[in-house]
C-alpha cells in the first residue's frame, strides 16, 4: 500500500491535453481545462465502475487516482490488480452514503449533498459524518477525514445530551474501530459537557459497565478540581494583594492627612506667634506714642491755653470765669 498522501486543488490539463465534455444539447464542446466537479455523475469518458453495497457509479480513473493513493495503487498505470484490467472495483463493508460522499468529494472537494433539503438534513446527523470519517481513513483520504471530523465536532456540540450519550456509546463500544482522531473529538465534547452528562442515567450506566471510561471521567473531574483550586488560590492571592495595596494606600492617605494637620498646626502656631509679636509691637508703639504726647489746658470759653493756674486763659478772663467758674472753665488737651 502506498504511503499516506494529501492532495491540493483539482488537477488541471493544459491545452495540449484538452478534454472534451458533452454539452446540455448532446454535442461535444472542447474546453481547455478539466472541470472535475461537472464530471461527477456524468458517464462521459467514464472508464471505471465503482460498486458499493447495492449501488454503483461510473467514475474516471484520472480523478480517483490523482486524489487517492489507495485507488492509484489499485488500478493506476502499470498496476496488475484485477481492477486495473476489468475496470470494476467493488468496495465492501462500507456505508453507502459515506462512499457516495467520498466519491462526491473526490470530484468537488465537498462531500455533503446540498441538492435537496431532506438530504441536507440527513447529512447533519453525527452518524453520517462518522461514516465519512471511516471511509476517508480507510481509503487514505486525510483531507476528507479532517473535514468530516470538523463537521462531526460541530454537530456533536449542538446535540441534546441524550443523543450525545448514544454517540459516545457507539464510538466507544461498537465493533467498528474508529480513527484515533474521532475518539479524541468525542472525548473532547464529552469532557466539555461532563457535568450535565453525569446527571443522565444512560451515561452513568455506561460508567458502571466500563472501568476505563469511568477512570477517564474521574481523571477529568480531578483535573477540573485541581484547576478550580488553582484558580481559587490565584483569586485569593489577588484579593490579598489588592487588600494589602488598599491598606497601604489607606495608610499612606492617613499619614498624608496627619502630616497636613501637623503642617496646619505649625502654621497656626506661627500665625499666633506672629500675632503676639505684632501685638507687642503695637502696644509698644502706643506706649511710645503716649509718652510723646504733650498735655495742656484749654479754656472752654475762648479756646486758649491756660498759662496760669488761677484762671482759664491767663488773661484773667472774667467772662470764662463767670460762665464756668475757675474749676470748670478748662479742659485737658493733648498733642503729639
Strands (E), the chain: 19-22, 28-31, 48-52, 55-59, 88-91, 294-299, 330-335
Res 308: pLDDT: 44
Q: Between 233 and 157, whose confidence is greater?
A: 157
User: Cα separation of 88 and 48, whole Å?
Assistant: 6
Torsion sign across C-alpha atoms 232, 237, 240, 241: negative
Reported as a pLDDT band with limits 50, 70 and 90, residue 222 is: confident
Kindly state the DSSP code that residue 326 receives in the 8-state scheme: T
Run of H or E including 86: helix 82-86
User: Can you tell me the distance from the alpha carbon of 51 to that of 95, in angstroms, rounded to the nearest whole number?
Assistant: 12
3-state class (DSSP) for residue 4:
coil
Residue 294's pLDDT is: 57
Percentage of residues in the chain having pLDDT higher than 90: 24
For the cut 80, the answer to whether the pLDDT of residue 316 exceeds it is no
51-55, 150-154, 212-216: the lowest-pLDDT one: 212-216
Q: What is the pLDDT of residue 255?
A: 86
| Confidence band for 16, pLDDT divided at 50, 70 and 90 | very low
**Residue 56 pLDDT > 80, yes or no?**
yes
- Per DSSP, what are the bridge partners of residue 90? 51
Residues recorded for the chain: 336
Q: Which residue has the higher pLDDT, 217 or 158?
A: 158
Average pLDDT, the chain: 76
**How many Å apart are CA 290 and CA 288, to the nearest integer?**
5
Q: Which residue has better confidence, 51 or 309?
A: 51
Q: Is pLDDT above 70 for 7? A: no
Which comes out higher in pLDDT, residue 21 or 241? 241
Distance from C-alpha of 77 to C-alpha of 89, rounded to nearest angstrom:
15
At residue 118, the pLDDT reads 43
Fill in the DSSP letter of residue 325.
-
Give the C-alpha distances (Å, rounded to integers) separating 129 from 88, 134, 195, 287, 292.
27, 9, 25, 114, 121
Count of beta carbons in the 10 Å neighbourhood of residue 164? 24
Whether the predicted pLDDT of 153 surpasses 80: yes
Answer with the residue of higher pLDDT: 334 or 128. 128
Report which listed range, 73-87, 199-213, 223-237, 317-331, is most confident: 199-213
Q: What are phi and psi of 278, to 5 degrees?
A: -65, -40
Q: How many CA atoms lie within 13 A of 314 on its CB side?
A: 9
> What counts of helices (H) and strands (E) characterise the chain?
14, 7
Of 130-139, 205-214, 316-325, the one with minimum mean pLDDT is 316-325
Task: Say what the pTM is.
Answer: 0.56
Name the pLDDT band for 29 (thresholds 50, 70, 90).
very low
CA dihedral 17, 21, 23, 24 (to 10 degrees): -160
pLDDT mean over 143-161: 93
Contact status, residue 66 vs residue 11, Cβ threshold 8 Å: yes
Cα distance from N-terminal residue to C-terminal residue, the chain: 134
Q: Tell me how crowded residue 333 is: count the other CB atoms within 10 A of its CB.
A: 13
Amino acid at each position: 500500500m502506498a504511503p499516506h498522501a494529501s492532495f491540493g486543488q483539482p488537477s488541471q490539463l493544459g491545452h495540449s491535453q484538452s478534454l472534451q465534455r458533452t454539452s446540455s444539447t448532446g454535442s461535444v464542446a472542447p474546453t481547455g481545462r478539466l472541470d472535475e466537479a461537472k464530471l461527477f455523475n456524468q458517464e462521459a469518458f467514464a472508464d471505471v465502475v465503482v460498486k458499493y453495497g447495492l449501488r454503483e457509479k461510473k467514475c474516471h480513473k484520472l480523478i480517483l487516482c490523482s486524489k487517492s493513493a489507495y485507488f492509484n495503487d489499485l488500478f493506476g498505470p502499470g498496476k496488475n490488480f484485477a481492477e486495473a484490467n476489468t475496470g470494476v472495483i467493488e468496495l465492501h463493508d462500507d456505508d453507502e452514503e459515506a462512499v457516495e460522499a467520498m466519491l462526491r468529494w473526490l470530484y468537488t472537494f465537498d462531500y455533503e449533498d446540498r441538492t435537496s433539503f431532506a438530504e441536507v438534513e440527513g447529512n447533519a446527523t453525527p452518524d453520517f459524518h462518522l461514516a465519512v470519517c471511516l471511509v476517508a481513513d480507510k481509503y487514505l483520504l486525510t483531507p476528507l477525514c479532517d473535514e468530516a471530523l470538523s463537521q462531526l465536532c460541530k454537530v456533536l456540540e449542538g446535540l441534546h445530551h441524550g443523543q450525545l450519550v448514544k454517540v459516545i456509546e457507539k464510538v466507544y463500544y461498537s465493533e467498528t474501530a474508529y480513527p484515533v482522531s474521532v475518539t479524541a473529538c468525542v472525548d473532547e465534547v464529552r469532557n466539555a459537557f461532563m457535568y450535565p452528562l453525569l446527571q443522565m442515567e444512560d451515561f452513568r450506566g455506561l460508567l458502571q459497565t466500563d472501568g476505563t471510561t469511568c477512570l477517564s471521567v474521574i481523571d477529568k473531574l480531578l483535573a477540573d478540581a485541581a484547576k478550580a483550586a488553582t484558580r481559587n488560590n490565584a483569586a485569593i492571592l489577588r484579593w490579598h494583594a489588592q487588600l494589602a495595596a488598599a491598606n497601604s494606600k489607606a495608610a499612606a492617605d492617613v499619614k498624608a492627612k496627619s502630616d497636613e494637620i501637623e503642617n496646619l498646626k505649625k502654621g497656626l502656631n506661627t500665625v499666633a506667634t506672629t500675632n503676639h509679636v505684632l501685638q507687642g509691637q503695637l502696644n509698644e508703639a502706643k506706649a511710645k506714642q503716649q509718652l510723646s504726647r504733650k498735655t495742656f489746658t484749654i479754656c472752654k470759653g475762648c479756646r486758649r491755653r491756660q498759662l496760669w493756674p488761677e484762671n482759664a486763659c491767663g488773661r484773667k478772663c472774667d467772662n470764662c470765669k463767670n460762665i464756668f467758674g475757675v474749676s470748670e472753665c478748662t479742659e485737658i488737651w493733648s498733642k503729639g
